[in-house]
Amino acid sequence: MDIRENVSLAPLTTFKIGGPARYLALARTVEDVRKALAFAKEKERKIFILGGGSNVLFDDAGFDGLVVQVAIEGVERDRTAFIVGAGENWDALVGQAVESKLWGIENLSGIPGTVGGAVVQNIGAYGAALSQTFQWAEVFDTTDARVKRISKEEYASGYRESIFKHHEGRYAILRAAFALSDAPSPNISYKDLAQRFAGREPALPAIRSAVLKIRAAKFPDISKEGTAGSFFKNPLLPREDALKLQAHHPGMPLFDLPESKEVKVPLAWLLDHALNLRGYRMGTARLFERQPLVIVADRGATAEDVRTLAEFVQEKIRRSFKIEIEPEVRIV
């Protein structure tokens, strides 16, 4: 395992933003992870565990510690379950599941990043959440340098939440297992999918194809512009409060969630229809024209501009609706 010094972090993220990491280690095995974390301890440096860089914004000054990019590969199939290395590409896994005629993660098609990153974020889209299929994760615990297993019961703590978010830096995810199903179970309750498949039950490949097309129409091309997708979590409100807000803004949809009894309020709708902020720009960053929940950065943009825009949006929502919103993107 090689540990490099003063490596630019920008190329390792989809935002294409970030100064240098003091040290960077590429970990392809469990032993690599062990050695990298021992190195950080020896040097008395803080650590950051990085996957595909699709949900992180690094500071312009960089990271004065050790960034460990986990690149452990491998996909094993145990009947209808997949056991997958943390460094595997998430969307490639979804494609493999669909080709294998296994249901459960097809609505999560097109989400960039690695399996490890997907597990940390408890990703969700179009009425589905990773926690619905998650079984366990094998992790390296930095507190005692041991490999452990995080169970399904320990894992999920709500909408876009997981145990790993509440113990950031403690666990390096090595592998994860997902339980899928060979029984057809299309989840097309989400508005965009319900409209596309009105009156018919779609096949598994059709759902994946539809989700990919919907995402392509809503999200920027990361090969041309910097972004980490949806920058903020949608706010969750008690049903009574959500209905009161809806009464003040007729036409605003509300969404039930698999992980919460609260109701999801679509932040993009508020930013667009109530505040007219679609396309709003501050410096080198703007709210995407087709989906204002997404912050887009020009090539050569600064993390400062992205943070300034994000703080502006948070304050605007706070003043207008008395709702607190928080970033989904990890700001380092």
Strand partners, 68: 25, 49
- CA distances (Å), origin 312, targets 280, 319, 321: 11, 11, 14
Task: Report the distance separating Cα 180 and Cα 326, nearest Å.
Answer: 31
* Cα end-to-end distance, the chain, whole Å: 25
Residues in the chain, total: 332
Instruction: Check: CB of residue 84 under 8 Å from CB of residue 93.
Output: yes
Q: Yes or no: say if 231 and 329 are a contact pair by the CB < 8 Å rule.
A: yes
C-alpha span between 218 and 57 (Å, rounded): 21
Tokens linked to 152: 């399904």
Active-site positions read 160, 230, 328
Instruction: Report the distance separating Cα 327 and Cα 251, nearest Å.
Output: 25
Q: Residue 112 phi/psi, 5° resolution?
A: -70, 160
CA pair distance 177, 130, nearest whole angstrom: 11
